[in-house]
Structure formats: C-alpha cells, structure tokens
C-alpha cells in the first residue's frame, strides 16, 4: 500500500496547500489500486459491471456466410459490365436452415435476410432491384451490383478464438448483447466496490427531522448515493454523523471495517471548528489538500485501515464537482475499469466569464446547438458553490483550465458533459 508521504515525495512540485487539479488526479492514481476478487454473473445482471478478464469468442459471429438482404443469391462472376443478367429461380433459402440444392450457371435462389448462402453463391441482389422476366425468372439491370454485394462474411463481427471484449471494459447494453451473441450465459466481472458514506456537521438535518433555525437538510448523502449508484457501486449509507469525537470515531471505524472506500462531506475546510479532520488524522494516513480549483477547494484523501478515504467539502456543488473530477476516476480504477475520461467538447461561450489564472474553474453549463449547427454554452445563473439548482439545470461542466484568464463572448471553452454520470 502506498503511503501518503511516499506518493508526495514522488510527485514533482507537490504542494498540498496549492495543488493543481491534474496533480490531485495523479496523486489519487497512485493511492488507489484495483480491488481483488471476481465473480460470474448472468448477462441480465452484468450491465455496468467491469470485466475481470478478456471474453474470448467461443464461436464466430456470424457462424456462416449469409445474406444481408431479402433477394436472390447467385454467382457474381456472371455479372458483366453494361448488360442485364437474367436468372432462373430454382429454390428458396430461409433463415435458420441451409438450402441443400445445387445451383448452376444462369440460376439463382430466392433468399431471406440472415439465411446461409448456398454453396458456390457469393452475391445477393435485393428484391427491389429485380424485374420480373417471365415465369420463375428475374432480371438484374446492368450496373447495379458488384460481385460479393450483400453477403455477410462468416466471423465478420467476431472471430472464434479472438477477444470479443477486453478486461477492464464496463459492460454497456451493446456489450451485454455482444456477450449474448456468443452464446455466453455468464461473464466474469470484478466484484462490486463497496463504498460507505456519511455527512458531517451539527447543522445538517436528516430527512424526517423538524427544521430548526440555522440548520439545513442533508442533500449530499442523496447526491453521493445517486452518483455511486450510477457507477454501479454497492452503497453503505451511514447517515449524518454529529460533530462529537466518539460518534465520528465509531463511524470511521465501522466504515473502514466494511467498505473499500469511504466518502464524507463537510468538515474539511480551513478553520473548521469541528473534529472531523482531527479524527481522520488520528485514525488514518491522510493528506489535507487545498486544491487550486473552484468550487471545491478543501479535500482530504488517504486511507483509514484498508479503506480509501475521500473527505469532500460540504458545499453541495463542491461535492458533485470534486466527485466528478477526482473521486469518480479513482473509484473506476478501484473497480478495475480501464476506460479513459470521455473527451471534452468544445463550445462557443454565449457569455463573458471572469476567470482568475492559477486555478481550474468548473462552471455549470447548458450546452445547446446554435442555428448554424455548432455547439454553444451558457452558464446557469448563480454559480455559488451551494446552489444545487445550478447542477440540476446544467447538462455539463464548463472546465476553465488552470492558466486560463477571462473569457469573452464567442470564445471557445471546453465542456465535460454529464452524460449519464450525474
Ligand atoms: P463545510 O465544508 O462543513 O464548511 O460546509 C460548507 C457548507 O456546506 C455549509 O454551508 C454547510 O452547511 C453546507 N453543507 C455541509 N454538509 C452538507 C450536507 N450534507 N448537505 C447540505 N449542505 C451541507
Ligand atoms: Mg461544517
């Protein structure tokens, strides 16, 4: 296990008091490792799981050359430039069984989409291209077809013995279908990541508690629950933990005993008069960061027992932004996933944005298509780090890079679309 001090010593220019966002990712990349353990799951239960090994194709898909169209199969060598071809229909090949007859020159077989190509035939003329040419005969006008047209080749989708899906892939609906097309009933996936989370702060109310002056309802547990569920984690909700050392200690110990990762919100800002930071320090190997970013400056990361700790700030928007920027990629790595961060889009800013060089800023954006078909983006009004409605309205985060200064109307900005993550 990598200790905080060792990772810190290896990272060039590491300054926990003014950490660049990209350095935070580089640090976390060294802190976390894929969890051990895998299980076989049925395809219907495999969506979102991460493959623990390559899926080797036991068969070729499709298993035979077959027709891509409803039409007539024939030997394409008979096609001659500039002349129509007349053929006699000698039978019908249906999907699901092989047609057994033989086909000579000047003959063809009526064939359905997916039916096995009869021996010796390599070309299919779609039904709608043909003309009737007397009893049991068709004509193919000149210039419409090349030899080999409308034939699907055996193994053109997947070849027997080759990897069809790779270790580290997160199974999408398409990947589930692909595994099923190989006849596989189960796939071997990494065990689900267990993540425990709780909110801290004496002013935080649980649902069901009566409102009182100065108190706010806990929203972070609900956003974190949703974010983790979308990632396919097993979630352990530990509620709101009050700011008392004994309660915090019990919560951290219980979380560390049961989860691969612990996520907390609140209590990590500078000058917090609470015990959260002190307890993290006491029980674990933890770094307290000030990240050069907005929103979401303070963050604690490290380990308590064998669990990785992500101590997020308390502000609701900061929680989601730091989750997306740092926690999500780290959890994906722990899940055994190998996917790259999705590419950022480029869009024209519909408004001017004040931006200080020297920190990465994440503005909540609404990306839309302009009249000329290009992408444009505007911000969702109040960008305060407590304004959760801005996250609801937004469909992506405008990422203003570390060294970037003010932006003018029409400038190109980068956007990370939420794309199902939120
Ligand atoms: P902190 O990081 O603890 O200083 O909290 C920063 C701000 O976020 C304060 O206004 C808190 O009231 C608010 N906050 C902290 N935790 C939560 C939570 N779980 N749900 C909603 N707001 C929170
Ligand atoms: Mg607090």
**The CATH number of the domain where 144 resides is what?**
2.170.190.11
Q: How far apart are CA 322 and CA 310, in angstroms?
A: 10
Which pLDDT score, from 0 to 100, does residue 269 have?
Answer: 85
Q: What pairs with residue 338 in β-bridges?
A: none
What is the mean pLDDT of each successive set of 10 residues along the chain, which is 422 residues long? 94 95 96 97 98 97 96 97 95 91 96 96 97 95 96 95 97 97 97 98 94 96 97 97 95 98 92 84 97 95 98 96 97 94 93 96 97 97 89 96 96 92 71
Residue that finishes a domain, picked among 284, 302, 334: 334
Residue 216 Cβ inside 6 Å of ligand 1? The answer reads yes
Number of domains in the chain: 4
Q: Do 247 and 284 fall within a single domain? A: yes
Q: Which domain holds residue 83?
A: 66-152
**Global pTM value:** 0.90
CA of 387 to the centre of ligand 1 (A): 11
Minimum CA distance residue for ligand 1 atom 20: 218
CA of 223 to the centre of ligand 1 (A): 13
Which pLDDT score, from 0 to 100, does residue 273 have?
Answer: 65
Which pLDDT score, from 0 to 100, does residue 272 have?
Answer: 63
CB 196 within 8 A of CB 262: yes
Domain of residue 241, CATH code: 3.40.980.10
Q: Do 263 and 215 fall within a single domain? A: yes
Which pLDDT score, from 0 to 100, does residue 133 have?
Answer: 94
Q: Of the ligands numbered here, which is closest to the C-alpha atom of 204? A: 1
Q: Do 199 and 283 fall within a single domain? A: yes
Q: Which of 405, 317, 419 is nearest to 367 (CA)?
A: 419
Which pLDDT score, from 0 to 100, does residue 263 have?
Answer: 98
Task: Report the chain's C-alpha Rg in angstroms.
Answer: 30
Q: Do 206 and 301 fall within a single domain? A: yes
Which of 203, 216, 295 to probe ligand 1 with, by most ligand atoms within 8 A of CB? 216
Q: Do 114 and 12 fall within a single domain? A: no
CA of 422 to the centre of ligand 2 (A): 24
Q: How far apart are CA 25 and CA 197, in angstroms?
A: 21
Residue 213 within a domain: yes
Pseudo-torsion of CA 50, 54, 56, 60, nearest 10°? 60
Residue 339 within a domain: no
Residue 312 Cβ inside 6 Å of ligand 1? The answer reads no
Q: Do 244 and 184 fall within a single domain? A: no
Domain of residue 362, CATH code: 2.40.340.10
Residue 394 within a domain: yes
Pseudo-torsion of CA 163, 169, 171, 177, nearest 10°? -20
Residue 116 Cβ inside 6 Å of ligand 1? The answer reads no
CA of 214 to the centre of ligand 2 (A): 12
Q: How far apart are CA 131 and CA 87, in angstroms?
A: 11
Q: Do 53 and 180 fall within a single domain? A: yes
Q: Do 20 and 76 fall within a single domain? A: no
Q: Do 265 and 322 fall within a single domain? A: yes
CA of 274 to the centre of ligand 2 (A): 7
Q: How far apart are the first and last CA of the chain?
A: 31
Q: Do 266 and 229 fall within a single domain? A: yes
Which pLDDT score, from 0 to 100, does residue 208 have?
Answer: 95
Domain of residue 51, CATH code: 3.90.105.10
Q: Do 88 and 134 fall within a single domain? A: yes
Which of 238, 240, 278, 315 to probe ligand 1 with, by most ligand atoms within 8 A of CB? 315
Residue 340 within a domain: no
Which pLDDT score, from 0 to 100, does residue 1 have?
Answer: 76
Q: Of the ligands numbered here, which is closest to the C-alpha atom of 300? A: 1
Residue 289 within a domain: yes
Minimum CA distance residue for ligand 1 atom 16: 314
Which pLDDT score, from 0 to 100, does residue 271 have?
Answer: 67
Which pLDDT score, from 0 to 100, does residue 252 have?
Answer: 98
Q: How far apart are CA 396 and CA 363, in angstroms?
A: 9
């Amino acid at each position: 296990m990598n200790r905080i001090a060792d990772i810190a010593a290896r990272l060039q220019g590491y300054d926990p008091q003014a950490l660049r966002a990209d350095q935070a990712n580089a640090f976390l990349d060294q802190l976390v490792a894929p969890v051990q353990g895998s299980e076989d799951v049925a395809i219907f239960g495999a969506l979102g799981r991460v493959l623990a090994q390559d899926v080797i194709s036991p068969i070729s898909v499709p298993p035979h050359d077959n027709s891509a169209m409803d039409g007539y199969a024939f030997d394409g060598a008979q096609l001659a430039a500039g002349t129509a071809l007349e053929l006699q229909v000698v039978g019908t090949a249906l999907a699901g069984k092989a047609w057994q007859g033989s086909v000579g020159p000047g003959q063809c077989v009526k064939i359905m989409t997916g039916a096995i190509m009869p021996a010796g035939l390599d070309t299919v003329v779609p039904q709608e291209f043909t003309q009737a040419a007397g009893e049991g005969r068709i004509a193919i006008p000149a210039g419409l077809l090349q030899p080999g047209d409308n034939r699907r080749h055996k193994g053109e989708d997947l070849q027997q013995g080759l990897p069809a899906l790779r270790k580290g892939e997160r199974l999408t609906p398409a990947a589930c279908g692909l595994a099923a097309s190989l006849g596989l009933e189960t796939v071997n996936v990494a065990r689900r990541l267990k993540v425990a989370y709780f909110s801290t702060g004496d002013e935080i109310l649980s649902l069901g508690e009566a409102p009182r002056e100065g108190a706010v309802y806990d929203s972070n547990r609900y956003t974190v629950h949703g974010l983790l569920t979308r990632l396919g984690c097993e979630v352990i909700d530990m509620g709101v933990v009050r700011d008392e050392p004994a309660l915090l200690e019990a919560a951290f110990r219980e979380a560390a005993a049961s989860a691969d990762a612990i996520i907390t919100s609140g209590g990590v800002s500078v000058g917090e008069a609470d015990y959260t930071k002190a307890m993290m320090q006491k029980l674990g190997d933890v770094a307290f960061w000030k990240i050069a970013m907005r929103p979401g400056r303070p963050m604690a990361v490290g380990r308590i027992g064998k669990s990785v700790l992500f101590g997020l700030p308390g502000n609701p928007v900061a929680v989601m932004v730091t989750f997306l920027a740092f926690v999500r990629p780290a959890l994906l790595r722990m899940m055994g996933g190998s996917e790259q961060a999705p590419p950022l889009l480029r869009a024209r800013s519909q408004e001017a944005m004040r931006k200080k060089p020297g920190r990465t800023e994440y503005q909540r954006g609404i990306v839309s298509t302009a009249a000329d078909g290009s992408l444009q983006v505007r911000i969702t009004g109040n960008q305060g780090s407590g304004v959760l409605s801005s996250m609801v309205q937004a469909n992506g985060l405008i990422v203003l890079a570390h060294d970037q200064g003010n932006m003018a109307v029409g400038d190109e900005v980068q956007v990370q679309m939420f794309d199902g993550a939120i």
